[in-house]
Structure 1
């Protein structure tokens, strides 16, 4: 160790040694940054960073070596072989490139150390190739112990440097890696020079120009600075571009692309901050949920481009009305949310008035003006809620009440009034779970011939027994299913289950199934019916679909086209609740229905009201003239049945003839038998589906 120190002190120009050290440290820091870039990338980009790192590393190592060599004072004239000098540079660059590639490959846990060891060997190869290029007038000898030690030191310190560098980042780990690589370069050079012995042999006319050598060292240092500086500039430019890209991506992630307002993610961050601030300072916060009223109408009439224009215009108007700490975001679709810190209800009212004005002001689309309007729900913190979830939920409930209110477009949360909405939403969630967990069932009400009393078929009626609330009326949960869109999977389940069960009935009675208006709008209804019939094996003639006149009235042309497709399958169509629609006679004239179902409301007064009796007679006469069978619903007394019999009604159903009951009861009564051997399982599991049979 002392020999090496003496070599530095006695045989080197300290100024050039310090210059070499500065080049070495600067280059090593740059190498660390370039390797960091390489580890963050892959493919060609990674290869490019490895190449830049190899060039910067090779150049800085070579320059460090060459400047230190120029600072060495052997006491005899010196010169350099240009070819071997250039080769030593290429050895440094190529060796570092291979070593860095191995170190960052990630193939094994030892890859960084192996790559680092290769870099150390490359440093040694570069040094001793450079020594071959070193021409000196004298007899050269080598102390092999120092020579071997220099190679070991370079290899060990380089392996340690890259091993530390590639490990998970620890405090000061990167600084330790940089120091290890500096030690690898410096220890190699000066230990190697300590192994170098020169016995001068002076020849007349031979001399070295120390000033020229120092100038050359400075020039080489300058070149090194240029090369390393260029590499460092690439790193800084890439880092700046990356930072700008990350900022742009962050802005895109937090901003709605259509309206340039903050989006749902940004809203969630902001409301957390505002609630925390309000809780700490004792302030008050208003959350305003905004849902446009006529946005769907504009979209349907004018297209999505017009809808986008409406959203952009309203977004800009609301943004222009913001002041101070006010915040507004687009949550999605035509839904917006605003946050407003308030001290008095007057200030809050002014803010709400600005929001209302922004959504009610007409928007020019082509040559037409539209006023979208909005339903606005407001919840206050801490008056209505103290948590984020409760605040959002309460504002949402108030907004839905505003949508149902024909007078007020702004509604504040009121617990007593909004609990009904909350209960409906809870029941909707329970219904979804009931569909997923198969908690629903079908009951069957018999339909009989009025003249003979014979069974003509059964109407399939959906029933739901809630695990906590017990039986829930279809009048309660069917509208919820239609509002939420659950009616589609629900209706498909009823259709498939009822057809599957009826396919095994003996005798082969007809099964009648109600079709919701929402189902009927579904364009694939004829295809779905065809698939279910083929899947279950039910004869099409045994399936009867019931739909109300209001279902058809929404779009007659499309409705009749769909009904014709269904009739082509061989399925019967019944017009349900006849007499309560808008244009019954026109509907009957336009489409050949297979059955008319007289609404139960007329039968309730048939025995006491001459007007009701007259309507019943007129409907029955109309059915006969059009040759369409008529089924009367809601028969509860013998007098009603006698009236229908006297007037020549075809079929009837009601509590007098049979209440809706599970399939198990129909089988037990002997009205229906199953053609398969699945009956024992069905009876044993009255709430399940066994052998393809779903029973009550």
Structure 2
């Protein structure tokens, strides 16, 4: 070791040695960085990075060797063979190719170490090829011990360097790997130069030009720095592009593509952070669930493109009102969510700003919309112990707001949990009721006002719960709509009503209500045809009742559906007439066979001149359109007499007959059951 240090101190120019070491260290660092980039890629990209790696590494190694050689003073005139010198550069670059390729492949555990050893052999090949280009005036001999040591140093240190950086990606290991590779290069060179011994044989007139050689060393250093800078630049450019791409991908992953608001993933991340801050600082966080009220109507009337424009405008409004500690995201469809970090009096102001933005009119082309929204609010930690409970309680408050027409904003209350649990239990029991035969159909008679003759019966679904007793339809029908059971219930009623009506004598009509969910299905006409075929009920004896709101969702599709149903021979009645928002247009556009006047008008017909005027107008409208009118909710003789005087065609209500099981109607003698084959087909 002392001999190597003595060689450096006594036989080398210290400035050129320092310069050579700097070149070696810089080149090693650049080579390691480029090599790691190659190891993380594949295919053509790996090939490209490997090329940059071997060019940068080979050039730096060769430049260090050449500068250090120029700084070596053997005590005799020197010169360089240009051909062999160039060959030594090629040896460094080409020889490093298989080593770096093997080290970056990771085909087996020791591949990096073996690849590094191969790189060390390339360094050895370069060094001693360069020594062959070194011309001195003397006899050259080699100390074989130092020569073997130099080879071992290059192979061992290079192998350790690449194994270290591949095994651990931490920055400290990258720097350590660069230092080991630099030590391997420097150790090889100076140990090899110690092995190099010259016995002078001076020839008169031959001399060296130290100034020219030093200038050449500086030029070589400049070339080395340019090559290293090119490698660093390519790395930084790729790193910058990679960072930009990752940021762009993150933005895409965390942002709603339509509204450019944060999406569900971004919301979850932000909420986690806000709850953590609240825990650490003893603060509170309000979570606001936002669900648009009339968005489906906008989509149905004006198309999805118009609906998207409304969402974009609302998103811009909400984004513009945000202040410090506030956040709004779109979760999907017409559902948004907001986070507010509570300060004294700040929550009500935030909710007021949200309401203003959501209820202000939106002008789109030639039409105006006021979407409105239902807002549910829950506060952490007052209303919830954790994130999941906070989100759930916010949803409960939002659903309460949607069900209350007088409130736009509803705050969470503990009683909501009890109500929801009760509804969920009832929904589960309704599913069981459908499967276990707890459901039944009651029939309410429909009669002629003038003659009191029976015209038909309306089939009404009833549920007799084994523990709760009678459950009103107003309670379980909305549950069925919320839980997706309404289609099964609707088909069950249709099949059973038709199957039982087949045996009636006289063969009265049976009226069956259609829900909005049933009417939304394109296979409804096919279902009706199947039920009629399965039960054997003549189509003329089936009357289907539906409301204006059912038709309003998609008028063109509704008209097409009604025509298909009427083509089967089934009659159609417009239920709850007078409570909608486009009754006259509905009557003009759709081929109804009957109008059912809503009971709200009939109940006031004796006491309210306005109600009486409306009833009179509806009856006159029905006569002018040649559509019979049935009045619902007849409870007094006075109501019936007034309707008879005004020329009403049919009536239905408690005065004429309450809904009753089929057996009770048969016992009363209103109908009898003929002996027919049972054609009931269960859905």
Shorter-chain TM-score range: 0.7 to 0.9
What is the CA distance between 1:25 and its match in structure 2? 0.6
Q: Secondary structure at the match of 1:172?
A: helix
Provide the C-alpha distance between the structure 2 equivalents of 1:282 and 1:462, rounded to a whole number of angstroms: 53
- Quick one: distance in 2 between partners of 1:32 and 1:543? 85
Q: CA deviation at 1:491?
A: 7.0
Q: CA deviation at 1:27?
A: 0.8
Change (3 A) 1:294 1:563: closer
Quote the Cα distance in structure 1 between the aligned partners of 2:159 and 2:378.
63
1:358-404 C-alpha deviation (Å, 9 max, x unpaired): 11111211132222211122223343334322222222222222222
Change (3 A) 1:311 1:579: closer
Q: How does 1:27-106 map to 2 (within 5 A)?
A: 27-106=27-106
- Deviation of 1:493 (Å): 10
Q: 2: CA distance between counterparts of 1:214 and 1:266? A: 61
The reply to whether residue 549 of structure 1 matches residue 531 of structure 2 is no
Deviates more, 1:362-371 or 1:65-74: 362-371
Q: Which residue of 2 aligns with 1:8?
A: 8
Q: What's the offset of the Cα at 1:485?
A: 4.0
Return closer, same or farther for 1:513/1:116 CA change in 2, 3 Å cut-off. Answer: farther
In structure 1, what is the Cα distance between the partners aligned to 2:429 and 2:97? 65
Q: Cα RMSD over matched residues?
A: 4.9
Distance 1:359 1:589 in 2: 40
Q: Deviations over 1:336-365 (max 9, x none)?
A: 2223334445x4323222211111111211
- Describe the SS at the equivalent of 1:135: strand
Q: 1:284 to 1:444 in 2, by over 3 A?
A: closer
| Alignment partner of 1:336 is 2:363 | no
Distance 1:211 1:465, change over 3 A: farther
Distance 1:149 1:191 in 2: 7
What is the match of residue 403 of structure 1?
402
1:290-439 residue pairs with structure 2 within 5 A? 290-345=290-345, 347-416=346-415, 419-421=418-420, 423-424=422-423, 430=428
Counterpart residue number, 1:642? 669
The correspondence of residues 491-640 of structure 1 with structure 2, limited to 5 A, is 517-524=516-523, 540-542=533-535, 548-550=544-546, 554=551, 558=557, 562=561, 587-588=592-593, 634-637=661-664, 640=667
Q: Is the 8 A contact 1:141 1:197 kept in 2?
A: yes
Question: Shift of residue 9 of structure 1?
Answer: 2.6
Distance 1:543 1:560, change over 3 A: farther
Gaps of 5+ in 2: 443-458, 497-510, 579-586, 596-629, 652-658
Q: Is the 8 A contact 1:103 1:113 kept in 2?
A: yes
Q: Provide the C-alpha distance between the structure 2 equivalents of 1:373 and 1:560, rounded to a whole number of angstroms.
A: 29
In the TM superposition, residue 431 of structure 1 has moved relative to its aligned partner by: 8.0
Report if aligned partners of 1:113, 1:160 keep a CA contact under 8 Å in 2: yes
Once residues 515 and 197 of structure 1 are traced to their aligned partners in structure 2, the CA distance between those partners, rounded to angstroms, is 107
The Cα offsets for residues 217-258 of structure 1, whole Å up to 9 and x where unpaired, read as 121111101110111122122223323333333333333333
1:107 matched residue in structure 2: 107
Q: Deviations over 1:255-284 (max 9, x none)?
A: 333333333222222323333333444434
1:241 aligns with 2:241: yes
Look up the SS of the partner of 1:141 in the other structure: strand
Q: Which residue of 1 aligns with 2:20?
A: 20
Residues 525 and 213 (structure 1), Cα distance of their counterparts in 2 relative to 1, 3 Å cut: farther
TM-score, normalised to structure 2, is 0.74
TM-score w.r.t. length of structure 1: 0.72
SS of residue in 2 equivalent to 1:291: strand
**Contact 1:397/1:422 (CA < 8 Å) preserved in 2?**
no
Q: How many residues align?
A: 601
Describe the SS at the equivalent of 1:227: helix
Residues 469, 636 of structure 1: alpha-carbon distance in 2 compared, 3 angstrom cutoff = closer
Unaligned stretches of 5+ residues in structure 1 = 448-458, 499-511, 591-598, 621-631, 646-650, 658-670, 675-692
Does the aligned pair in 2 maintain the 1:491–1:519 contact within 8 Å?
Answer: no
Cα-to-partner distance string for 1:129-179 (whole Å, 9 max, x where unaligned):
112222222222223333333223212221121111111336833233222
Give the Cα separation in 2 of the matches to 1:408 and 1:227.
Answer: 71
Distance (Å, rounded) in 2 between the aligned partners of 1:232 and 1:412: 58
Aligned to 1:162: 162
Mapped partners of 2:152, 2:468: distance in 1: 81
Alignment correspondent of 2:289 = 289
Name 1:667's counterpart in structure 2: none
Matches within 5 A, 1:254-265: 254-265=254-265
- Please show how residues 449-468 of structure 1 align to structure 2 within 5 Å: none
Structure 1 residues 261 and 673: alpha-carbon distance in aligned structure 2, compared to 1, 3 A threshold: closer
Describe the superposition over 1:602-633 as per-residue Cα deviations: whole angstroms up to 9, x where unpaired. 9x999xx999xx9xxx989xxxxxxxxxxx97
